[in-house]
Chains A and B, each alone.
Chain A
Amino acid sequence: MSAKDLNKVINTLLRDKHAQYIASFEKNKESFEFYATEHFRMSGVYWGVTAMQLLGNLDLMDNDAILAWVLSCQREDGGFGGSERHDSHLLYTLSAIQILALYGALDRINADRTLSYISSLQQADGSFAGDTWGEIDTRFSYCALLCCSLLGNLHAVNVPKAVSYIVSCQNIDGGFGCTAGNESHAGQVFCCVAALHLAGALDRLDRDLTCWWLCERQTKSGGLNGRPEKLQDVCYSWWCLSALSILDCLHWIDRDALSSFILQCQDEERGGIADRPEDMVDVFHTFFGIAGLSLMGLCDLEPIDPTYALPVSTVHSIRGT
């Protein structure tokens, strides 16, 4: 749908509404939604608090309680579960470490235990399993390298092997898939490009081809899709833009068209951002919409780092720069 088809064009970011929406998100702890999202709650909290920080409203959250809850989700093996009742998984270990980084609280955990958990998941071919169960995916390569980097010890894992596995997942169109031979998907492209960046190995990919595939993702609506012939979706504002930004090619896409697409996906009454105009909002798309606008330097948001998926100020303080 193009902007002019809508009765009303929303052309500003409804900051206060979004802050209220995120702050109220976990109030209703008896709902089915709360239960059904339990296994990935750690990521939900990461999306919420990071969006709040970008909006400049982190003070609206119960930050002490969040921090205590995150710490309660650490397991014996050093990893973190999706909630206090789940086993460790790399996805939630990364979300937990990102939240701790945002709060400047990485010293509250024993980093060596977490690093040893992460390195135990690396396989002989350099790939990473998500948990002890063995699912392999390039998402987990990104999770592993970013956790290690945030904990100050990238070489707790075998970086050259991790790089060669990621490179083996690059396709002829320049994109990356979950494992070798899988279709290119913008989410995986973000993970692989960011992981290669962390490993100092961006020279291992065909930059022009990858960026071309990424900018082909922009549709006439201004929004971006994740694969050819699929619908545009706000979350790809992050997946595609961050990879383009890491590769220094953000200017290849039409930023005005993309930002107006994101703004059309806002819920004017409840706050929050949806995948597409007039769909239901959720915290996932709210975060990715705000993060995309931040990457483009719009709406007076705190800048976000495309590789760490954390505010630039947080990354600076961790790296001592």
Chain B
Amino acid sequence: MDVFQAVLKSGELSERVLSLTDDVIAVNASNYNAWEVRWRCVQVLPHIFMEKEADFLDQMLMNNPKNYQLWNYRRRFAFRRGADYAAEELAYVRKCLDQDGKNYHAWAHRVAVAEKFNLWEQELDDLSRLLELDVRNNSAWNHRFVAASHLAKEGNAEQVFQSEVLYTRALILKAPHNESSWNYLRGLCTALGLPHKMSLEPSVATLCLEVLQQKSSCSLAVEYLADIYAEQSRLLEALKQEDAAATAAALGIQCFKELEVTDPIRQKFWRLRQHELLSICSA
């Protein structure tokens, strides 16, 4: 460490300093000073040293898959190598995700690389593969939403919406107790930049009822249905259709009451939601 302190002071950037950072990083891969000096070295040394970094980083990441400093270094490295290596970089990230499908750093890196080199097209296919392996992988669902948003922005948004609703529907029917897929559906309806509302998309309400026919206790479906009724009652209230608004609010309240029983740990929240609808009911 004392030699490294001396190097920091002298500002020397050379092959021997690069190999000194090997040792420092081997002892503590989170030493942010060492990574910075390393980056400065590879930039001034001949190109071959930059190339060798790929192997070094692969090795390091295998042993330290959740290290902030390492992934940040990898990001700089990938951006510096450029578009020619982008597909290879994504393949590498996939390998990391096969080890741990929820590694936050790997997913963040994947977003950064796909965005930088605009590689969203291919992403959906691989996400389907990952969700096939683990349909509850929230990281994959999140990434899918980022990819779908990009594709909607660049192409036919309505088409992306319809095909994603279909895709999600199938996975919800396969595994109804899955917070991630329901959240994804909600996102498609509320945040894809289309004028769809949860309550105005009939296929979504139908899906809730279908799930409940299969599994009457599925609290996520009941919750979604409750949200649809709540949204409907507010829309109808704004249109001055008081009776219809009250009916929707009453249905919403009924759902929230059911949730109090099936999901008791969030009882206080369900009561609060009922309370919000009471005023519409009694108006």
Is chain B a partner of chain A in the same complex? yes
Binding site for B on A (CB under 8 A): 35-36, 38-40, 82, 85-87, 89, 131-135, 171-173, 177-179, 181-185, 212, 215-216, 218, 220, 222, 227-230, 251-254, 257
Q: Is the CB of A183 within 8 A of B142?
A: yes
**B32 contacts A by Cβ under 8 Å:** yes
**B136 contacts A by Cβ under 8 Å:** yes
Q: Is the CB of A229 within 8 A of B138?
A: yes
| Of B14-22, B100-108, B198-206, B209-217, the one with at least 4 CB within 8 A of chain A | B100-108
Q: Is the CB of B32 within 8 A of A183?
A: no
Residues of A within 8 A of B145 (CB): 171-172
Residues of A within 8 A of B104 (CB): 178, 182-183, 185
Q: Is the CB of A178 within 8 A of B142?
A: no
State the main secondary structure of chain A at its contact with B.
loop
Residues of chain B in range 172-201 having any CB-CB distance to chain A below 8 Å? 179-180, 183-184, 186-187, 190-191
Binding site for A on B (CB under 8 A): 1, 5, 27-28, 30-33, 35-36, 39, 68-69, 72, 76, 102, 104, 107-108, 111-112, 115, 136-139, 142-143, 145-146, 179-180, 183-184, 186-187, 190-191, 265-269, 272
Interchain CA distance A182-B72 in the complex, whole Å:
15
From A179, which residue of chain B is reached at the shortest CB distance?
B108
Q: Is the CB of B28 within 8 A of A87?
A: no
Interchain CA distance A229-B138 in the complex, whole Å:
7
Interchain CA distance A86-B28 in the complex, whole Å:
13
State which of B1, B115, B269 has its C-beta within 8 Å of the C-beta of A212: B269
Interchain CA distance A254-B139 in the complex, whole Å:
26
State the main secondary structure of chain B at its contact with A.
helix
Q: Is the CB of B266 within 8 A of A183?
A: no
Kindly list the 3 A-B residue pairs having the minimum CB-CB distance in the complex, ordered from nearest: A172-B187, A183-B142, A135-B72
Q: Is the CB of B183 within 8 A of A218?
A: no
Q: Is the CB of B187 within 8 A of A173?
A: yes
Nearest chain A CB to B40 CB, angstrom units: 10
Residues of B within 8 A of A230 (CB): 102
Q: Is the CB of A218 within 8 A of B28?
A: no
Q: Is the CB of B179 within 8 A of A229?
A: yes
* Additional A-B contact list (20), CB under 8 Å, known A181-B115, A252-B269: A39-B30, A39-B31, A39-B32, A86-B31, A135-B68, A171-B145, A172-B190, A179-B108, A181-B111, A216-B266, A220-B265, A227-B139, A228-B136, A228-B180, A229-B136, A229-B137, A253-B266, A254-B266, A254-B267, A254-B268
Q: Would you give 28 A-B contacts (Cβ < 8 Å), ordered by A? A: A35-B28, A39-B31, A40-B30, A133-B39, A134-B72, A134-B76, A172-B183, A172-B186, A172-B191, A173-B183, A173-B186, A173-B187, A177-B142, A178-B108, A179-B108, A179-B112, A182-B108, A183-B138, A183-B139, A183-B143, A212-B269, A216-B266, A220-B265, A228-B136, A229-B179, A252-B272, A253-B268, A254-B267
Interchain CA distance A173-B111 in the complex, whole Å:
18
From B108, which residue of chain A is reached at the shortest CB distance?
A182
Interchain CA distance A229-B1 in the complex, whole Å:
41
Contact flag A218-B32 (CB < 8 Å), given A173-B187, A183-B138: no
From B72, which residue of chain A is reached at the shortest CB distance?
A135
Q: Is the CB of B102 within 8 A of A171?
A: no
Residues of A within 8 A of B107 (CB): 182-183
Interchain CA distance A202-B108 in the complex, whole Å:
26
Residues of B within 8 A of A216 (CB): 179, 266
Q: Is the CB of B33 within 8 A of A254?
A: no
Interchain CA distance A36-B115 in the complex, whole Å:
35
Nearest chain A CB to B6 CB, angstrom units: 12
Residues of B within 8 A of A253 (CB): 265-266, 268
Q: Is the CB of B180 within 8 A of A229?
A: yes
From A185, which residue of chain B is reached at the shortest CB distance?
B104
Q: Is the CB of B268 within 8 A of A251?
A: yes
State which of A36, A133, A173 has its C-beta within 8 Å of the C-beta of B35: A133
Residues of A within 8 A of B179 (CB): 216, 228-229
Interchain CA distance A253-B190 in the complex, whole Å:
26
Interchain CA distance A222-B72 in the complex, whole Å:
35
Q: Is the CB of B28 within 8 A of A36?
A: yes
Nearest chain A CB to B67 CB, angstrom units: 11
Residues of A within 8 A of B69 (CB): 135
Interchain CA distance A50-B107 in the complex, whole Å:
33
Residues of A within 8 A of B142 (CB): 171, 177, 182-184
Q: Is the CB of B180 within 8 A of A215?
A: no
From A222, which residue of chain B is reached at the shortest CB distance?
B265
Residues of A within 8 A of B183 (CB): 172-173, 228
Interchain CA distance A173-B272 in the complex, whole Å:
19
